[in-house]
Amino acid sequence: MTATIIDGKAFAATVREKVAAHVARIKDAAGITPGLAVVLVGEDPASQVYVRSKGKQTVEAGMASFEHKLDADTDEATLLALIAQLNADPTVHGILVQLPLPAHLDSDLVINSIDPAKDVDGFHISNVGLLGTGQKAMVPCTPLGCLMLLRHQHGSLSGLNAVVIGRSNIVGKPMAMLLLGDSCTVTVAHSRTKDLPAVVRQADIVIAAVGRPEMVPGDWIKPGATVIDVGINRVEGEGGKTRLVGDVDFASAVEVAGAITPVPGGVGPMTIACLLANTVTACCRANGLEEPEGLTA
């Protein structure tokens, strides 16, 4: 059996189209342009690429993009003052502080200083608590993207066994909360899990979010399961060229799974699409406007 390839790139394009259509409606009906502010501290090359890409796609969706680039040695007070200014700015509906921050800055303190209503990354403790208690939250973008792909693939997820490999605050834990919200039976596996292959073999849905190249082989996958590969790992390929691989060994897993996301072109493009979706959702909530359908949990 060869799995259906879940085309995250194409699905993300449909999410961005829905966002752009809703932005156009908001502009027409209320004269409001949703705005996203991205704060980058330092010159991490990967972060610079992400921030550029976020800004470009924000503008393409018809929204306003505000970029704030600060030096790597910026002190905490300066960063907190900028966030306070963005919190108070009515033209800014979403605020994202690009992680990781330089080591001298306290990421938790910085994230928790963002107005939770503008926290489009969904990392503020208020949003974590709202999501954990099944209330309306801003939902972290990568797990939200995975959920959208799963709902599209399965329709209802109710009663399915889901195994999430990885327990990070950014992916694993919020992913588990979202799957519980959709009535899956959820297991969260991690570096101390005993007999991981046996745990994964129980899963109708496998979410791999570890950061270890191709660690999940096809013989861990239950035949017909849906595999969502969040991992993005750079490995050396032929001729010394680097290539991207996921946390799942795609070549063997595609022979067993019912459906699988590739890397690249699976979960990756969904993350920024969901950031745009969260920004338009935040704008609607702030202004008492109708929220776009199907763009949140």
221/15 Cα distance (integer angstroms): 29
Q: Give the angle subtended at the CA of 17 by the CAs of 12 and 19, to the nearest 5°.
A: 95
Q: Does 202 bind ligand NAD (CB under 6 A)?
A: no
Nearest to 17 by CA among 296, 276, 288: 276
Using the contact rule CB under 6 A, the part of the chain among 51-59, 96-104, 113-121, 207-215 near ligand NAD is 207-215
Q: Which is nearer to ligand NAD, 102 or 211 (CB)?
A: 211
For residue 174, whether the previous peptide bond is cis, meaning omega lies within 30 degrees of 0, is: no
Q: Does 210 bind ligand NAD (CB under 6 A)?
A: yes
Q: Does 292 bind ligand NAD (CB under 6 A)?
A: no
Q: Which parts of the chain fold into alpha helices (H)?
A: 8-30, 45-60, 76-88, 107-111, 125-132, 141-154, 172-181, 196-200, 250-253, 268-287
Angle between helices 45-60 and 268-287 (to 10 degrees): 50
Q: Does 260 bind ligand NAD (CB under 6 A)?
A: no
Q: Does 152 bind ligand NAD (CB under 6 A)?
A: no
Cβ within 8 Å of residue 220, ≥6 positions away: 196, 197, 200, 201, 206
Which residue's C-beta sits nearest to ligand NAD?
168
Q: Does 230 bind ligand NAD (CB under 6 A)?
A: yes
Is the separation of the CB atoms in 259 and 224 below 8 Å?
no
Is the separation of the CB atoms in 246 and 263 below 8 Å?
yes
Choose which of 142, 226, 281, 296 interacts with ligand NAD (CB under 6 A).
142
Choose which of 41, 128, 216, 232 interacts with ligand NAD (CB under 6 A).
232
Distances in Å between the Cα of 248 and the Cα atoms of 47, 187, 288 are 24, 18, 42
Choose which of 5, 70, 99, 196 interacts with ligand NAD (CB under 6 A).
196
Q: Write down the least CB distance from residue 247 to ligand NAD, Å.
A: 6
Q: Write down the least CB distance from residue 233 to ligand NAD, Å.
A: 6
250/90 Cα distance (integer angstroms): 45
To which residue do tokens 């791999």 refer? 208
Out of 18, 118, 119, 121, which one is annotated catalytic? 121
Q: Write down the least CB distance from residue 162 to ligand NAD, Å.
A: 15
Q: Does 19 bind ligand NAD (CB under 6 A)?
A: no
Q: Does 163 bind ligand NAD (CB under 6 A)?
A: no
Q: Does 167 bind ligand NAD (CB under 6 A)?
A: yes
Q: Which sequence positions are flagged as catalytic?
A: 54, 98, 121
Binding site for ligand NAD (CB under 6 A): 142, 165-168, 170-172, 189-191, 193, 196, 209-212, 230-233, 267-268, 271
